Amino acid sequence: MKPLRLQPIPDRTIWGSHHISDLRKADQNYGTWWEVSAHPYCTNMVINLDKSLTLQELIEQDPEGLLGPGYTLHELLRLAFLDSKDDLSIQVHPHDAYALKHSNDYGKYESWYIVDAKPNATLVAGTKTADPEVIKQALKEGTLDQYLCVWPVQKGDYITIPAGMLHALGKDIVALEVGTNSNTTYRFYDYGRKDERGNLRSLHLKESFDVADFTLKPHFEPAQKESRRIGDTPCFTVDELYIQKDRKFILENSYAIVSNLGEDTAILWGQEEIPICHLESVFVPYSAQAFTLKKGTHVLLSQPGRKD
């Protein structure tokens, strides 16, 4: 099956900014745009097939052909753009076992590639203390900020967020999130912020302390304009590629997701050219076997962890 173009799904948030929404001429500002998803929360429509089908329907019809031998929806990566005008809440994601037991979902291991950021933009990833009692006391006293690890970020930086680590995207950032197939987030701290009705947003402190591991640290890759592997986790790999001449890729084990960070271009598949616009992601099924990226292309190439 050929590489699949997908219809992004906008998701409104109180911290949403306008950059992606303006690019896509949306009716309002959306903080999250689901680019690749086959999850009960949402699944993308495929827009370059003769039939009207979702990505999840295609995978259910032929899981090996879409994903690769031994892969299931559990191993499908979920990609989204995050576009922030305000700080996101401090949050944490569970591991699989806890999420399956308590949230009827998988756990979440994710990463962020900084597509753009204003000067002095920051995000939170990890804590300065490994002692949960210190964190609990800081929450009571309103002094949590002093224990959060704050990372200045700029365009092209990349950071991994393992399950169990406190984290939060900061304001004035556009990021591409590459993560596992989950929609479970436990809100740990929200600056006393209120929703549109004037109510404090709910927290999930019990769940957060159940799953948090305050010893965890992220892996940070500073921006470089060169091809390299920026993400190598048990759940996925992410390569940033600057294509100097047409380059063919063979799918030996699994599907791939190509996210275009540069100008509009096309993926070559056999004799067919499949458009891939600026800030668009294309899902390349395992059964596509091979594809070619054209000279001058700048992409992220994301694939699931290897099945042994």
Sign of CA dihedral 159, 223, 264, 231: negative
Mean pLDDT by 10 residues, the chain (308 residues): 98 95 97 97 96 97 97 97 97 97 96 98 98 96 95 98 98 98 96 78 94 97 98 97 98 97 97 97 98 98 84
Residue 121 contacts residue 152 (beta carbons within 8 Å): yes
Residue at a domain's end among 221, 255, 280: 221
Residue 82 contacts residue 174 (beta carbons within 8 Å): yes
Does this model's pTM top 0.85? My answer is: yes
Domain match, 126 and 29 both = yes
Instruction: Look at residue 307 in the predicted model and tell me its pLDDT.
Output: 60
Phi, psi angles (nearest 5°) of residue 130: -100, 0
Query: Cα 164 vs. chain centroid, distance in angstroms?
Result: 16
Domain match, 67 and 12 both = yes
C-alpha distances (whole Å) from 307 to each of 31, 72, 218 are 33, 11, 24
Domain match, 214 and 253 both = no
Residue 139 contacts residue 145 (beta carbons within 8 Å): no
Domain match, 259 and 277 both = yes
Domain match, 38 and 181 both = yes
Domain match, 58 and 124 both = yes
Domain match, 183 and 252 both = no
Nearest to 165 by CA among 122, 135, 201, 202: 135
Query: What is the count of structural domains for the chain?
Result: 2
Domain range for residue 128?
A: 4-221
CATH number of 102's domain:
2.60.120.10
Residue 87 contacts residue 170 (beta carbons within 8 Å): yes
Instruction: Look at residue 308 in the predicted model and tell me its pLDDT.
Output: 57
Instruction: Look at residue 193 in the predicted model and tell me its pLDDT.
Output: 79
What's the burial of 280, exposed, middle or buried (CB within 10 Å: 0-12/13-18/19+)? Answer: middle
Phi, psi angles (nearest 5°) of residue 236: -165, 160
Instruction: Look at residue 38 in the predicted model and tell me its pLDDT.
Output: 97
What residues contact 163, with CB distance under 8 A and at least 6 apart? 93, 94, 95, 107, 108, 109, 211
